[in-house]
Amino acid sequence: MDVNGLFGGFVGEGASTVIPAKVFAKVSMRLVPDQDPQKIIDATQAFIESLVPAGLQAELSAGHAAPGVVVSLDGLADLGAETASGPQLLALMQARVVAGPADFAQRVSRGLKDIFVQTRDPGSIAAIGAARGREGLDHGAEAWAWSPRWRHGGLHDLEILVRALQLCHAAIHPDVLSPSIPGALAGLAAGSLLAEPVVRDLLGAHHLLRQTETILAISMERAMDLDDAPQELRVALARAAGLENFGQLEKALNDASERVRASFEDLVKEHGRTPG
């Protein structure tokens, strides 16, 4: 079990001895084959309830879940330049081994690298990026204006942009390959494939959007208008971003999203250019 985030209590300026009325934790669990996700959820609920002191209440809200599976590494060989779909490639760019023997991790890394370093038409990759970017519209980006992920120029756009750039250049510059966005941007900068000012802008945007998304994910279960959000949450969001107030956060997020969207549109405009 991973504890992904904790939130609760007084987060404003100055000291306070108030005991928080509510605290939140977001956790995730990776399952292995033959584990039933519903049984795991039920067991977790029972364990939490066994720890709750008299007079307090605990509530578990389960998100998405799926059984553990076994996948053969031989299947990676089938994802060649002609057979792998755009969504498959973009998803695989984030794949990594989180646990297991070192030789297994090396086999997975080699298999993935063999897929990514194949020569591909940069035009088709840019088209894939543009199509996946439009998924934000399918999620109602206008209604999700405060969603760090689905807003125009949000994390979704940024991640698709970086993955598409990796696929465009990996055949000639394999050092751009990294499952993390900061690592990928560092590789693109080291290969002079992305201008340093653009890299700095995208790194800053990624950090700000991720910090904001983390706090929102811990403290909110659904999209909402943050103009109506509790003051404590607005303060926490601003402090998480290293800013003094909520107004500064709004401006910083809008500026970051504009830079991401501009870079995204540049990629699509240059789809006919040969990488390298």
Q: DSSP per residue over 23-42, as a string? A: EEEEEE----BT--HHHHHH
Q: Which residues of 196-226 are buried (b: 16+ CB within 10 A; e: fewer)?
A: eebbebbeebbebbbbbebbbbbbeeeeeeb
Band the pLDDT of 276: cuts 50, 70, 90: very low
116-125 pLDDT, tens digit per residue, is 888 776 666 6
Is pTM beyond 0.75 here?
Answer: no
The predicted structure's pLDDT at residue 83: 59
Nearest alpha carbon to residue 209 among 167, 143, 247, 157? 157
| pLDDT reported for residue 134 | 56
pLDDT digits (tens, 9 = 90+) for 69-124: 777 777 776 665 555 666 777 777 777 787 778 888 888 888 888 888 887 766 66
Pick the CATH number of 72-269 from 1.10.3720.10, 3.40.50.2000, 2.40.50.140, 1.20.120.330: 1.20.120.330
Mean pLDDT of 32-51: 90
Q: How far apart are CA 165 and CA 185, in angstroms?
A: 9
Q: Residue 194 and residue 175: Cα distance in Å, rounded?
A: 13
Q: What tokens does 258 get?
A: 């504009």
**Mean pLDDT of the region 148-159:** 87
Higher pLDDT, 241 or 74: 241
> What residues does each domain of the chain span?
1-70, 72-269
Residue among 114, 93, 216 nearest 159 (CA): 93
List CB contacts of 56: < 8 A, sequence separation 6 or more: none
Q: Note the pLDDT of residue 201.
A: 93
Pairwise pLDDT comparison (114 vs 204), residue with the higher score:
204
- Which pLDDT does position 173 carry in this prediction? 92
- In this predicted structure, what is the pLDDT of residue 43? 92
> Which two tokens mark 149?
């992920």
